[in-house]
Amino acid sequence: MTTFDANTKGIFVNGEWREAKSGETEVVDNPTTLEKLTEVSNGDFDDATDAIDAAYEAFPEWSKMSPRKRSKILYRAYELMMEDVDRLGEILTLEQGKPLKEAKGEIKGAASFLQWYSEEANRIYGELIPASREGNRQFVLPQPIGVVGAITPWNFPSSMITRKCGPALAAGCTVVLKPAMETPLSAIEIAKIFEKAGLPKGVFNLVTGKAQEIGEAFLTNDKVRKITFTGSTEVGKYLMRESADQLKKVSLELGGHAPILVFEDADLETAANLTLASKFRNAGQTCICANRVYVQESIKEEFSKVLLEKVKQLNVGNGLNDGVDIGPLINENGTEKVQDHLNDATDKGARILCGGTKWDGEYEGHFFEPTLLDNITDDMKVMNEETFGPLLPLQTFKTEEEAIKAANNTKYGLAAYFFTENLDRTFRVSEALEYGMVGVNEVFPSVAEAPFGGIKQSGFGKEGGHHGIDDFVVKKLVTISGK
């Protein structure tokens, strides 16, 4: 069954679907089978410029529309997405590889951002500030920043888009979206949903195509006032450097290197289940996936036994099939990186408890077996660099102080997790971890109503919650002289 439109164009500018001006297309593969799914337009600088112009033209009307009306359109988009979860989930699995259950979960999560921001559109309040100069009045007026250039990754092809576009549109901004070329089909579906929901022409524009060129159009065009990016730290730093010239507002959701700390007072079953969920969902390809686990020495043996049994039970395969827990990695670079981290670890003395090879199954795609490693030392790559794959090292610690120090010993600061049943420790460790998000007996921080985002080299800016609106709003001070 073909769930997506075979004549997919991929460029949606000013309410019109069209080809790239150059006529070029790019093949979209299924990462499970490596078969071609379809082709989409390979847009470039010129296509992006058209989209920016359209967004710029649409801005005055959209920004002045009453929040209530904007809210209604976003809510309709939420409903349309929820009505189509099965088909959208299938498209997501086809182009990205994650198990269907996870894909449908992502679509529901993506829809929840539209719902939340349809509500939040009505609550972008200003401030009235009592003046020190007698008779004066002064107030702070929140206004949409303008045209937004959004750049999204392939690991969450749907929810990363709505997490950015939901608040941007709610605030009254207009948007040009550049999705990852590995997964443009989910982005195309979202554009169709916005179209159907009644978003006026030019308010949301989509350009699939050449990353460097579209990025350059965003960076060099003065009409773009804000760039919102989720992806690698390297590209994030590049975008920040290059946007300095026009002092664009930037928000960056970048890489992470999440630690999990398992204290001796933890509920081991919960800790093992959630460690598994954190590390192996999306085959380890999320920026908040656990990259390293530290277990208190006294429970190491017991914990690794419980965890090992669970890892061994994970099923690798085609995400469309029932009972599959782990799909393919997105491309060969993905498996090569996992292999490199694994080789580096075993060269330095790590022991493979299970897995340890590329999966030799019935599909051509880039699969890697879920792998658990023991005998870890801190100099291993896996303990310092983002693996983005199903490889999990188990390290030990003796004291809480030592665990916190190890957890914080990274340039990243996105998410960290720990397991404990002790209330004092819950507060102490939450406060001591240098991360934008901390999970206590919990590993899923990304929800519509709460602020997601990192510190240090994991970036800045928040997505989700009322905080998510701030990135798309500028605050104007109006001072009125009293007579």
The catalytic site residues sit at 253, 287
Nearest alpha-carbon partner for 334 in 362, 307, 361, 359: 359
Query: Does the footprint of ligand ADP cover residue 152 (CB under 6 A)?
Result: yes
Under the binding rule (CB under 6 A), the answer on residue 311 touching ligand ADP is no
Residue 328 binds ligand ADP (CB under 6 A): no
CA-angle at 320, arms to 210 and 258, nearest 5°: 65
Contacting ligand ADP within 236-265 (CB under 6 A): 238
- List Cβ neighbours of 474 (8 Å cut-off, separation of 6 or more): 142, 143, 144, 145, 249
CA distance from start to end of the chain: 72
Q: Is 184 in the site for ligand ADP (CB under 6 A)?
A: no
Q: In terms of CB distance, is 54 or 329 closer to ligand ADP?
A: 329
**With binding defined as CB under 6 A, does residue 191 bind ligand ADP?**
no
Segment near ligand ADP (CB under 6 A); pick from 93-101, 109-117, 176-184, 468-476: 176-184
Residue placing its CB nearer to ligand ADP in the complex, 37 or 151: 151
Shortest Å distance, C-beta 77 to ligand ADP: 22
235 binds ligand ADP (CB under 6 A): yes
Q: From the CB of 176, what's the least distance to ligand ADP, in Å?
A: 12
Q: Tell me: does residue 350 bind ligand ADP (CB under 6 A).
A: no
Candidates 10, 99, 172, 215: give the one binding ligand ADP (CB under 6 A): 215
Q: Which stretch binds ligand ADP (CB under 6 A): 95-103, 174-182, 244-252, 263-271?
A: 174-182
Q: What residue number has its CB nearest to ligand ADP?
A: 215
β-pairing, 224-230 with 204-207? unpaired
CB of 329 to ligand ADP, least distance (A): 11
Q: What is the DSSP letter of 436?
A: S
Residue 449 dihedral angles phi and psi, to the nearest 5°? -90, 0
Nearest Cα to 439, choosing from 420, 455, 465? 420
Nearest CA to 276 among 354, 385, 342? 354
Task: For residue 232, state whether it binds ligand ADP (rule: CB under 6 A).
Answer: yes
DSSP sequence for 196-231 = HHTPPTTSEEEE-B-HHHHHHHHHH-TTEEEEEEES
Residue with tokens 């099965």: 86
Closer by beta carbon to ligand ADP, 27 or else 211? 211
Q: Does 211 bind ligand ADP (CB under 6 A)?
A: yes
Q: How far is the CB of 40 from ligand ADP (least distance, A)?
A: 13
Dihedral over alpha carbons 388, 389, 390, 396 (to 10 degrees): -40
What is the helix (H) or strand (E) element at residue 391, kind and residue range? strand 391-397
Q: Does 151 bind ligand ADP (CB under 6 A)?
A: yes
Burial label for 183, CB within 10 Å (0-12, 13-18, 19+), is: buried
Return residues touching ligand ADP (CB under 6 A).
151-153, 178, 180-181, 211-212, 215, 231-232, 235, 238
